[in-house]
Amino acid sequence: CGGKTQGTFAEKRESCVQCDFFQRIQKEQGTDSAPLKFLSYLSDAAKRPILGELKFKFVKAGERFIVQGEVRDCAYIINRGSGLVVVEKNGELHPVGHRGRGDIVGVLQILTGESQHAHVEAETDMELWELKREQFEDISRKDPEFLDFVTEIIADRFDSKRPVADRVIGKYVATDIIGRGGYSIVYKGLHKGLNMPVAIKMMRHNLVMKEDFLTSFHNEARVIASLNHRNIVRVYDIEERYRTVFIIMELLEGESLKEMIHRLGKLPPLLAANFLSQICSGLHYAHEHGILHLDINPTNVLVQRDDQLKILDFGMACHQGADDRSVFDGTIFYMAPEQMECNPVDQRTDIYSLAITAFELVTGQRPFVEDNARSIIREHLTKDVPDPGDLVPGLPEALRHFILKAGRRDSSQRYQGADEAAEALRPLLRHPDPAPGGMVYRDRKMTTLFLVYRDEHQAALKGLVEQFSAKAKELGVDLKVGDLKDA
């Protein structure tokens, strides 16, 4: 803006629409042929008659034609001009999206029946086509591709990193998006009656229309809800509304093993053994209840602040002995040979995936060449997991043996159960039988260290403590951190 510092959104929005840069962007967006532009979909001669059935609407610049929180029975397709999507949250306005020629606004609400998630304001004079709910449903029945296209638009918009409006989902309020995956969006939420923090996992609308994905999502909720173990994420509730499914889970704080590997490069062997032992404990419990995970990998294991692990994402889970699995059920880098060959799976399948995960924890990389999917499958089918000791000299023999035995191609040569695998790690654990939820400190000394620092040093100090903690754990020393407030 010519070196001029702008004020708040409310102060600058009028001047912004007169800006040369804005005018250029508007012109470029008007000729945009991006695949998710709605008019590009309707430009097909076979679909063009739809426009003739729609009502025309003119909106003057500055007018707010969609209001957050209202319930509407129509969406708008932009024929000319541009609008701004604005979320009102905690008394503040947040511009979260720009819509130009060819875009559709308000479509999620006529699909789901929810109230509007944001305001939409006209930045310039706008010409709109009004799409009523009845027309939307009629077109959806006649043209399945139409619904697929709309739900792809919705999925794309859910991937925005900008603020979102609160959503009421039955007894819960979803406040912020905290995670995104290929199948789902995860919200931070709150149980309204109990004032209890929760995580809310929503299946993407573009997938909920597909019966196999919906079955898998239902399966995850049903499976996890039946499990109650300190190393498995808890499910509290299931809500079905807004043309999708929500799984209400415990809200966890921490980082995934994948994020920890990325941050540290690789994990100290004793810390890795501790983590692997916890995963074995959770898997043994699930296996005892007849449930396989079938997608064990570092992304699906969360490390909490006290180093207690939680196994996540039982979306691929099934009962032992299942023989109707697809070759792509799971994450290909960690899949056992029997999964790739569509053979029956059992608890040893999870143990193989754990071997790949263990190799990555201690070396910082996966064991096989990954040029393409075909080469990955060939490596898994023709080779055992290689020796991690070749990459990590001095790796404890018990941990090296664990990875080699758990990673055999032939499942009969692996550990036959997660309890047997855990037993192999026991020599590496300083205290093999910790009390649930905490450590045992028999015959050990304790030193208290106080760090007095200024606020501006907090970020640097956090990194220093993490480095110290990693080194301490290599020695078998447990570091506990707590805040001490001045009296």
Annotated catalytic sites, by residue?
295
CB 19 within 8 A of CB 4: no
Dist CA 363 CA 389 (whole Å):
9
Dist CA 207 CA 216 (whole Å):
11
Distances (CA, A) of 90 to 68, 166, 312: 13, 10, 31
Could you tell me the two tokens for 459? Answer: 């970020």
CB 301 within 8 A of CB 279: yes
Widest CA span in the chain:
83
CB 284 within 8 A of CB 418: yes
